[in-house]
Structure 1
Amino acid sequence: MAKYIVYVDMDHTLCDYDEGFGRHQLKHPELKYPQSEPGLYISLKPLPNAIESFEWLMKHPALDVYILTAPSIQNPHCYSEKRIWVEEHLGMEAVRRLIISPNKGLNKGHYLIDDCAIGKGQENFEGELIQYGFGRFKDWKSVISFFKEKLAGE
């Protein structure tokens, strides 16, 4: 049986970027782009229920799950910090499934869980966009409910 390929975004989906950005901005008020200073991405806190939900998706036998995150291309620190964040919060199995790409539309799959509908290639993703934080998918509990309903008969 073929598995559904599911990609999960990091910023604003697994991680609380807004809270982390605010903290980083207070530490570096002199910088126009405080996210360019090392330490932002590694310090992000998980969003409520994000870790447990990602683990549930990873363990489901009908799903092949990856993290698909776009880098801040002006910030070379974000690449390594995102990788470290994944290891610290989700473990090495998730690190093996980490994809950092500025164009999410290049990936083949069935579902993309992302807070943005456009801007990093999401609009060209061939599968279904589950826009996290909006409409039916306002939080991780609603995303997991969707997958439970979808996969109930499988």
Structure 2
Amino acid sequence: MRFEGKKIVYIDMDHVLCDYEAGFNAHQTKYPELAYPQSQPGLYIGLDPMPGAVDAFKWLSAQPELEVFILTSPSEKNPHCYSEKRQWVEKYLGMETVNRLIISPHKDLNRGDYLIDDNVAGKGQDHFEGELIHFGSEQYPNWQSVTTYFSNLAAR
């Protein structure tokens, strides 16, 4: 197997790597007449990273026992999200991470050990075969708590 002996970690983008809420609110202000302001180009590429997200992604990716991928769902309201999410990854995580971007509305189809996501259901998270790390929850409220969790796993 290609990643033999390594744990596969998937990380969601919206509300996990990217501050979708702030970006959506700004887009809503820019396009107040639209029911779905997220349908307009510029939303996804304009998102800021969540606090600590870029450093945490790089730290996780540097762990020799892990293979880290981005697993994000597309927006049905914005066909531009496919290219803009790819551009966001290049902008904040580098060209070497672009080939680790997976865009799928069916997160349970991906085989892996960990899924870091802000939702526990809706896009297959509840059927993911590995452990769901619920980002933004009481147990994992931020990136520091997630990296601490993985640090403790590595120390075992």
Q: TM-score, normalised by structure 2?
A: 0.96
Q: For 2:77, what is the secondary structure of its paired residue?
A: coil
Question: Displacement, 1:93?
Answer: 1.6
| Aligned equivalents of 1:32, 1:74: Cα separation in 2 | 10
The offset of 1:24, in angstroms, is 0.4
Q: Which amino acid letter does the alignment assign opposite residue 114 of structure 1?
A: D
> Does structure 1 retain, via aligned residues, the 8 Å contact 2:38–2:77?
no
Superposed displacement of residue 152, structure 1? 1.2
Q: 1:130 aligned to 2:133? A: yes
Contact 2:6 2:67 in 1 (8 A): yes
Match of 2:88, SS state, is helix
One-letter amino acid matched to 1:78: C
Q: CA RMSD in A?
A: 0.8
Task: Check if 1:10 corresponds to 2:27.
Answer: no
SS in 2 for 1:23: helix
Corresponding position of 1:148: 151
Alignment of 1:3-152 (within 5 A): 3-152=6-155
Q: CA deviation at 1:126?
A: 0.1
Q: Deviations over 1:48-103 (max 9, x none)?
A: 00000000001110000000000012321000000000000000121110000010
Structure 2: unaligned runs, 5 residues or longer:
none
Amino acid at match of 1:74: K
| SS of equivalent residue, structure 1 residue 144 | helix
List 4+ stretches of structure 1 deviating above 2 A.
none
Name the TM-score, length of structure 1 as normaliser: 0.97
Paired residue type of 2:38: Q
Q: Distance in 2 between matches of 1:145 and 1:109?
A: 20
- Cα deviation digits, residues 103-128 of structure 1 (max 9, x gap): 00000000000000000110110000
Q: What residue ranges of structure 1 are gaps of 5+ in the alignment?
A: none
Instruction: State the distance in 2 between where 1:40 and 1:57 align.
Output: 27
